[in-house]
Structure 1
């Protein structure tokens, strides 16, 4: 190898002389050195730049810009629409017993029922109360609850506390302390009775002097003889009468009569 290099230097010196030898040593001759190879880092750098350029010229993937199909509020409302002629349900609260109710002059039975959609004049008349009138709007298929706020009438033959009904003693108008029986309301039942009666609830009209003036069965027992026994007992009861503003008053009260096995 050393001999080859020496021979090559000799050839250059003979052919080109001293200037050629100097140029060879300084690397000025193109054939004096091989073409330098690119380093791995340079290749990677060029590749990376090329990839970026190619990426910049590429087309971004298409994005579905159409939003998912949704139902608009109008569509939902249409799906829930009630046919125009569907009756609504009218409920009257605080309606006293025996009250006469009309809608635009036509009788309305009971405290609740189906009513065709419309605008109505509701009128309620009851003994002991002033007439009640109110405009109501019944919508198709919708419930409507109306509180019947009856006021006592001074011109009536009966006052609001003389007859019992759903609005009796509303807001404590009749009494603020209820009547209390002075004796037990338990009714003895034989130990060998095949059926144990359910309690009976009686409606008692009590005078201001503490006597039972009237009795009605409000909730019946499942055994008829037990109802009769409860009525007989209630008629003989003595009471601490109801009071209004510290004064005894007549009153209506519900009392439960319960069976007691012997």
Structure 2
């Protein structure tokens, strides 16, 4: 018997082809010499779902799914059926996570998130049923037009950010935001698709070797490093989409996935030509979205929406309803925020301005009664007191008594005009007192310390101050005379005595010399240049633990995913990687090359993109080289 797809000889008891994985139960068994007859994937899907869905046509396919246009028979509506490729159906863990994440994404109900109607399995067919969108994707739009006008760009970003913000609040990170996954419905409203599918690919098998999940051009730096992600990674990816929609090209490109990821991690964002002030303002928002460090980006997708309107972001702790003349947008939390996130952005209708209208005011009788009562008190014996209070002391009388006790005119206080000599003397005396007081305050406010900066110390130099080890080259020391000793591998010790002044900065250029060696048999001394075992990697590197006590260590296994252009099985690569104090790859040197030059570049890019635990010296992280052997990941 032979497989109808690839022609491999199979036994009659086999259920699946050992070469291509074809389900032999779905095809007609063929004897030797028969022409192969194979069912297409569309025929298999049509047969499996025929009771509930009528498959109309295939809409598209990719590495993660095949999408069909179909009609749901019971509700008589058009839907989209997304099917997991049969090649992935053999991975039980992937299938289980795929279905679980799909069920989670089905709970997301938002105007800018494509609704998932059903998640199911029929035989080998694992599928989603979703709303059918008759519009195009953002990638198709960019392919036709190159870039978007600002108003369309801002509208798309706001609607997409609203969807992401809602998903993030519900614990879902998309992980694969790109133009292909942003669709437009018939009215031009942006809709985010493939929620949960990208996150479903986080099984141990897929990420255990440091393999990054996502599309390289739109990956965040932490995603390229295969680190743990949160919603800020989606904000970065949306920033890449915004950059492409504004400029017409992606910000970082390269010949392979690792070179692109390396640029996302290390290179600054290219600044394109910007036509207007509005273009520059939108680009500033994109810059913040694409900050390398997640803490430097917008911390929530709603902040992107507010920033696009040019307003400051104020996050309220509770739903707040306030009237303010300031241009401040208050983003409520909770149910009110969720309702706001589902509403499309609409212009606000201003309240009409009206002219003030004169309204006749009726005088209240209570004022007349109070005045009458007050007059009776005066006539009843209080007249003398009133005369003293209003007439003598000059206090202002009520309006109805001002005819009896008119207000006294205010007299201006006399202003003395001193002669010029006296005025100059007063000013000089005042300035002298102020200067003396300022000098006393400055002397009192001076700290009891000063700053010492030592320039020219070698990288692995060590220094002590009065016998106590210090970390340089900039030191804050107590005022007074200080004894400084500086040592470094391969250099003579330098001893200095420095006077530290209160509140002063002192800079000293240190010159360290190589020790001179006396040749045998006398004669003039010649300078000996001892080997600096920490300068370059090699056999003598870190001799006697001079460079570090513990070497750098990669945080992931040294298994390099193979580029599709690499043919056959490449041999491993051995190289030196220079690792910084914060665990980033700085440079590399290849020791042993692979038999495939492309794998050399792929392995080097992989080694530069992952994170490391830095080298340790005296319990502190230091820069250091580490030798690594990188092998290809099994296909």
Q: TM-score range by the shorter chain?
A: 0.3 to 0.5
Going by fraction, where is helix more abundant, 1 or 2? 2
**More relative contact order, 1 or 2 (CA 8 Å, 6+ apart):** 1
TM-score normalised per structure 2: 0.17
Larger Rg: 1
TM-score normalised per structure 1: 0.39
Going by fraction, where is strand more abundant, 1 or 2? 1
